[in-house]
Structure 1
Amino acid sequence: MIKGKELFIKYGLKKTSIDEIVNACGIAKGSFYTFFNSKEELYYAIMKQEEAFKDAMIQEMINSDRNPQELLHDLFTKSFDMLESNPFLQRVIRKEEYELLIRKVPKEMLESHSESDNESGAELIAKWKSNRLLVDEEPDIIIGLLRAVVLISLHREEIGTERYDKVKTLLIKCVAEGLIQK
């Protein structure tokens, strides 16, 4: 995974071959296929590893007594900071890489990833709902909204790089304020 990550950062998903990965690792191609069915599955496994910070942040939010609006703002801000500072995740959020990944990774893996996101956020949502801190909406809708906010990073060019940061900041503010019960 370390060598694959290095190659994917340097060349991208499309231009990195399995031969380059196995040569960098000093293993046989058959050994690669013992663990992964394709380079896309390796890329996906690395992506999941790089996104692990999310679950730690959500656990921190569950255990925190801070204002939920501030916590949501921090979650979004830290997520964007991670996306924008991590070279591998920067590759993932390039539209062509992301589209190639979702086309090539088995649908069950993508669904499993989505379910995992839903489960990790469900506990937080349940806590905040029980304390009447969150708007009355289905948990999967709220999680979908949170995911959509972060996916705005895929559209930096369409939004315009000169105004992207201001749009992102306003979106974070509006969503964080809008989800919290007044």
Structure 2
Amino acid sequence: MKDTRTNLFDCGKELFERNGFKDTNVSDITKSAKIGTGTFYNYYSSKEELFMAIYMEENEKLKRTILKTIDLNQEPQSLIKELMLLNFEGMKSNPILKEWYNKDVSDKIEQYFREQKGMEGLDFMYGDFIKIIEKWQKEGKMRSDIDSGMIMAIFTAIVTVETHKEEIGLQHFPQVLEYLTEFTMKGLLVGGTHSND
């Protein structure tokens, strides 16, 4: 027999996957979990809090999968391109993580991270990736005049630009993303278009 928190989590996940964040409400979740609405609030303060717990778990699963499948010793340009591609594919194919591309939901996710976790928690593999960047900086492969945290913020900006693809123009967006990644890497890598003087 599942405990109530696990039951709410599982029922919430199933409904969010099927109906999306916007079209799932607390009463749907409690009905599915076969508990009273009041009991829900003993475990989660809101639908948003439950969704974020589910989102974080799915995000961690994606991160672990990416780290298992990728060769972290390849050259920076190839590794970054592969990481970003795997992250985008993973997010688009997961109904929970795909909600990131829904502007209303992404605003709530960003607000949650600012209040609860700090923005570094938002990046799909912050802790592991910042170590790789610091290693590249020590090896002289990546500019060391830019703080590793700032480099992470630049990559986070590239990842989050997808939430603005309509404003950028859907017909241009895939190419824009490729160019942004390419130009960013050229600017960050030692021996790219910018030297590390």
Q: What TM-score results when the alignment is normalised by the length of structure 1?
A: 0.83
SS, match of residue 41 in structure 2: helix
**Hey, what does 2:150 align to over in structure 1?**
141
Larger mean Cα displacement after TM superposition, 72-81 or 91-100: 91-100
Check if 1:155 corresponds to 2:197: no
CA contact (8 A) 2:123 2:156 kept: no
**How far is 1:132 from its partner?**
1.3
SS, match of residue 22 in structure 2: helix
CA distance in 2, matches of 1:91, 1:115: 15
Letter in 2 for 1:157: E
**Hey, what does 2:12 align to over in structure 1?**
4
CA contact (8 A) 2:20 2:95 kept: no
Say which structure, 1 or 2, has more relative contact order (CA 8 Å, 6+ apart): 1
Flag structure 1 segments of 5+ consecutive residues without an equivalent: none
CA distance in 1, matches of 2:65, 2:92: 19
Letter in 1 for 2:148: P
> CA RMSD of the aligned region, Å?
2.6
Relative to structure 1, the CA distance from residue 106 to residue 119 in structure 2 (aligned partners, 3 Å threshold; closer, same or farther) is closer
CA distance in 2, matches of 1:92, 1:127: 30
Larger mean Cα displacement after TM superposition, 127-136 or 83-92: 83-92
**How far is 1:59 from its partner?**
7.6
Structure number with larger C-alpha Rg: 2
Check if 1:165 corresponds to 2:174: yes
SS, match of residue 162 in structure 1: coil
The aligned runs of 1:7-156 (5 Å cut-off) are: 7-52=15-60, 53-54=62-63, 57=66, 64-103=72-111, 105=112, 107-111=114-118, 113-114=121-122, 118-136=126-144, 137-156=146-165
CA distance in 2, matches of 1:177, 1:59: 27
Flag structure 2 segments of 5+ consecutive residues without an equivalent: 1-8, 192-197
Letter in 1 for 2:164: H
Check if 1:176 corresponds to 2:185: yes
CA distance in 2, matches of 1:107, 1:160: 28
SS, match of residue 35 in structure 1: coil
CA contact (8 A) 2:59 2:124 kept: no
Deviations 1:39-84 (A, max 9, x none): 11111111112212235545876x7321111101111111111122
CA distance in 2, matches of 1:36, 1:23: 15
Larger mean Cα displacement after TM superposition, 1-10 or 51-60: 51-60
**How far is 1:177 from its partner?**
3.1
| Identity of matched residues, % | 27
